Structure formats: C-alpha cells, structure tokens
Amino acid sequence: MKVFHCDHCGQLVFFENVLCVSCEHVLAYAPDLNVVTSLDKVDEQTWRSPLARSQGRLYKLCANYSQHNVCNWTFPADDPHDLCESCRLTRTIPDLSSVGNKKAWYKLEVAKRRLVYTLVEFELPLKNKVDDPEQGLAFDFLADSAPGTPDAKPVLTGHDNGLITLNLAEADDAEREKRRCQLGEPFRTLLGHFRHEVGHYYWDRLIRDTPHIDAFRKVFGDERDDYGEALKRHYNRTPAPGWQEFFISTYATAHAWEDWAETWAHYLHMTDTLETAATCGVSLAPRRADEPQLNSVPDPVTSDVSFDHLMDSWRPLTYMLNNLNRGLGVRDAYPFVLSTPVVEKLRFVHDLINAG
C-alpha cells in the first residue's frame, strides 16, 4: 500500500481515511487516479479533485460512502452505477437490523477494498458477476443463524465458481482469535481470508485449462485428487512431522488447491507489506555487519523487479517486524519460516502474475 497526502494541506493520510484531520477536507480513494484525494464539493451530488491529472472531471461518492459510511471510494460522476468498483463486487450484505452487523460489514469492506487495490495494481482480471456472470467475482457476507433456529447451519467461508462467502463472525476480533487458537493457526486475519479465497478464484482464471497446469502440478501436486476426502483426512489427523519443509501452513498440506491458495495469499501479504515499506523508505543499517541489512526496498508492483530481489528484502524486513512486535509485547507479526520449496512456490505465483 502506498502512502498518501492531502492535496490541500499536505497532511499525511491513509487508504481508509474519509476526512483530513488538518484541513477537514473530505477524502476519498479514486481508483482511476490510484490515489486518496481531497475533494471540493460542487453540489449535493458531485465533487471535484484538485489534482491536475483529474482533468477537471466531476466525481460522485459511492452510495455505501454517502448513505452507509462503510466505504470511502469515489468515481467519475458520469458512471451510471451508484456503487464503486469494490462495492459492486459485494452481492449480499448482512442484515443491518441486527446489532453489530453494520460494524462487521464495514470491517469486511475495508479488507476487501485493500484486496481490490492490490488486484488492480497487478492488472489481474477483475469483473463482477453482474457484468460477467460466467467468470466474474462476487462476495456474500453472511451471518450464522441464531441459536435454536430450525435447520440452522453455520456459514462456511469458501469459494465456489467465483462466489466467495465470508462468515460475518470473522469480522469479530475475539471470535476470530478463538477460532485461530482452536485450529492451532499462528496467523489468522480478515484480509488473509479474502486473499486466500480469491486465490481459488484466480486458480480457475489463470491455471485451470491453461498451459500452466502442468507446471502447477509439478510444484503444488495434482489437484485432481479427491478434494472432499483430502479435507476429511486433514481434519482427522495431525500434520506429518516435517511439514514445514514443504508447506507454508498446515492447511496447505490438505490438498494442492489449498497449498496454492495459501501460497497466493502469502504472496499478496508480502507484496502489500513490501510496497508499504518501499513507499515509507524503510532501510536497515545495523551496527554489526553480521546482522540483517536492508539498503532499500523494491516496489513489487514494478514489473522489472525480480523475485529474488523481493525475497532478499523480505527476510530482513520480517526480522525487523517481529522484533518490533516483541518490543510491544505482542505476537510475531510474521510467524513463518520459508523453506526452499515454499520459496519456489511463491516464485511460481510471482512469475504467473508477471506473465500477464
């Protein structure tokens, strides 16, 4: 994620901001400009960005911004839609009459917008299911039925032919932490769920029925193995000793599809963090020559940056992140060890994305 500044006063602002705390101008992210811009009000419906590259065009706020305050995106006023590119991907929102659901919906949309930002930067195919019913992407945000409801079934987070379902409970920090502990996971975040599930979607779009399938099977295994049986085995047994030598997580050991989705999500974790570090100008200059060093962080969105360059920056950056977290008395920000086979799987993702 890049760092942004208010166009009117220069105040540092962030991707999720809606108001400049210095000059109190309204802020919004404009996908066509790829920037969080301040806005000047023209009338009740339209706004103007002071940026010269906006070429004087008029903008309108996403309806989920102006009506529900769960979005902060803007787009050209001549666009016939009421919702922004990100909100149009959401097919089902939770019941807003239930206490706490609007707050949870807001958290889900915040995470999804960060996902969409990355997907657009990498120029990956991204259409909603209204515009492209066959190959489009959609999200359902659903809550579990109330206890005692007849035939109640828990909502399962997952992907099915471009439709990603997210359980609203994952937006509750306490509930998500409870599930993380129950499943013995070192890392579980709302954004991580989005990145993992969209990995399944892009497997369908970029690998299935393409010349890449043979290379995929050499790296990740054969996805034609029975998926249902593989998940049953995974949940009914402990991971084999030494799984860390070949997989990024225990869930990745379940099936080739899950190995792919976990690796895809991990690559997006890496590139988002590296882009932020690059924009902030992070470097490490230790007093001892044998400690991790980092002269500068490459921007991973730049197409000519090699994967090896990214990895050479990632290792010292995570060393710093974990030590900073320990100083604050919280868990490691990055509780992973990347073996050589896992690095090669990440390289496969990198090469596939950069192959266009």
User: Where do the domains of the chain lie?
Assistant: 4-83, 85-205, 207-356
Task: Per residue of the chain (356 residues), give pLDDT as tens.
Answer: 888 999 989 999 999 999 999 999 999 999 999 999 999 999 988 999 988 888 889 999 999 999 999 999 999 999 999 999 999 999 999 989 888 899 999 999 999 999 999 999 999 999 999 999 999 999 999 988 766 666 667 888 999 999 999 999 999 999 999 989 888 888 899 999 999 999 999 999 999 999 999 999 999 999 999 999 999 998 888 888 889 999 999 999 999 999 999 999 999 999 999 999 999 999 999 889 888 999 888 888 876 889 999 999 999 999 999 999 999 999 999 999 899 999 999 999 999 998 87
Six token digits for residue 254: 């379940």
End-to-end CA distance of the chain: 21
* 151 DSSP 8-state letter: T
**Strand-by-strand arrangement of the 138-142 sheet:** 90-92, 138-142, 163-167, 158-160
Helix, strand, or coil (residue 128) = strand
Q: How far is CA 327 from CA 56, 320, 324, 330, 332, in A?
A: 48, 11, 5, 8, 10
Q: What is the 3-state secondary structure (H, E, C) of 135-177?
A: CCEEEEEECCCCCCCCCCCCCCCEEECCEEEEEHHHHCHHHHH
Q: Is 162 left (phi over 0), alpha (psi -120 to 50) or beta?
A: left
Query: Tokens 């997210």 correspond to what residue?
Result: 166
Query: Tokens 């970029």 correspond to what residue?
Result: 206
